[in-house]
């Protein structure tokens, strides 16, 4: 009886130790989750996120993978891009999936880079015969260009847009879909857009035969995009752990698998070159 009792106590202790060990591993995890949910935002933006499709999209797939890998709790909501940047800067938002680093943004946010995307010019077919390059568009003073407010396009394209802004030829909108509708209705004559966005919106709005897609910056590579983390919530050491999570997703093929659900193989390969 004594041997049996001692054995039972030993097994009970081993079981308790195993439970404690598994709990500690779960708490440690690849990142520190904190004691409250991570406030996350989506954009209604092409194949990245579509609220009309129940939230289907690249960004939703990435969030699902982050939850699986980190065990963190997230409080996700749909916000305009400009509002998301403002809320990260103020500390009212902790994270969102796709942003381009620059000096101004790096004052209040860390970036965990994981893809590169280039913007192409989407030109109304009415003007396509005479517009082949950015310089052609600049030369025609009657033409207007549409952009999403607070969106960064890349060094060359943003410098070019600054020139247009001085001539008051840029119309800003809160989201990409609004810019596409303006292009369709000829309130603007061209816009910049990325493959995951124009592939969806041109088809959705019946515009595939109304525009041409042109590369106005052939020497420029895609702008690097990253997971955006608020410095109000995450330390530099914590941001480095999130970078490691995103790098692992790239190395083990998870990011390729996610992007391949929405885009052809050649575009996925370009997106993952950064």
The answer, yes or no, to whether residue 38 has pLDDT greater than 70, is yes
For domain 38-116+225-271, the CATH superfamily is Periplasmic binding protein-like II (3.40.190.10)
Model confidence pLDDT, tens digit, residues 172-210: 998 888 999 999 999 999 999 999 999 999 999 999 999
More confidently predicted of 8 and 244? 244
Residue 179 has a pLDDT of 96
Full-model pTM: 0.78
Q: How far apart are CA 274 and CA 270, in angstroms?
A: 8
The answer, yes or no, to whether residue 12 has pLDDT greater than 50, is no
Residue 201 has a pLDDT of 93
Q: How far is CA 175 from the centre of its chain?
A: 14
Residue 33 has a pLDDT of 96
Residue 175 has a pLDDT of 87
Q: How far apart are CA 97 and CA 68, in angstroms?
A: 16
Contacts of 169 (CB under 8 A, 6+ apart): 141, 143, 144, 145
pLDDT band at 26 (very low <50, low <70, confident <90, very high): very low
Structure tokens at 96: 């969102």
Model confidence pLDDT, tens digit, residues 112-122: 999 999 999 99
Residue 54 has a pLDDT of 80
DSSP code string of 26-92: HHHSSS---SSPEEEEE--BTTTBBGGGTSBSHHHHHHHHHHHHH---EEEEE--HHHHHHHHHHTS
- Other C-beta atoms within 10 Å of 7: how many? 10
- Other C-beta atoms within 10 Å of 265: how many? 10
Topology classification of domain 120-214 = D-Maltodextrin-Binding Protein; domain 2 (3.40.190)
Model confidence pLDDT, tens digit, residues 230-273: 999 999 999 999 999 999 999 999 999 999 999 999 999 999 99
Domain with CATH 3.40.190.10 in the chain: 38-116+225-271, 120-214
Residue 237 has a pLDDT of 97
8-12, 66-70, 145-149, 151-155: least confidently modelled range? 8-12
């Amino acid at each position: 009886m004594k041997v049996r009792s001692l054995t039972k106590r030993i097994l009970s202790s081993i079981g308790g130790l195993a439970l404690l060990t598994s709990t500690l591993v779960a708490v440690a995890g690849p990142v520190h989750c904190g004691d409250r949910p991570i406030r996350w935002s989506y954009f209604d933006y092409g194949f990245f996120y579509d609220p009309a499709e129940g939230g289907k999209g690249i960004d939703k797939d990435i969030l699902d993978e982050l939850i699986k890998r980190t065990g963190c709790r997230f409080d996700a909501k749909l916000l305009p891009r400009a509002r998301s940047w403002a809320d990260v800067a103020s500390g009212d938002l902790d994270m969102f999936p796709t942003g381009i680093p620059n000096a101004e943004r790096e004052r209040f946010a860390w970036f965990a880079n994981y893809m590169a995307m280039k913007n192409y010019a989407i030109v109304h077919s009415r003007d396509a015969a005479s517009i082949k390059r950015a310089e052609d568009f600049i030369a025609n003073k009657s033409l207007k260009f549409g952009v999403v407010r607070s969106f960064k396009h890349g060094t060359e394209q943003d410098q070019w847009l600054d020139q247009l802004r001085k001539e008051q030829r840029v119309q800003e909108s809160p989201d990409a879909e609004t810019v596409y509708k303006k292009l369709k209705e000829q309130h603007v004559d061209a816009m910049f857009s990325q493959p995951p966005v124009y592939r969806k919106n041109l088809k959705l709005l019946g515009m595939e035969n109304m525009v041409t897609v042109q590369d106005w910056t052939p020497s420029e590579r895609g702008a690097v995009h990253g997971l955006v983390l608020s410095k109000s919530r995450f330390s530099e050491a914590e941001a480095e752990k999130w970078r490691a999570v995103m790098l692992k997703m790239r190395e083990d093929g998870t990011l390729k698998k996610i992007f391949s659900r929405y885009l052809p193989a050649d575009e996925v390969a370009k997106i993952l070159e950064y």
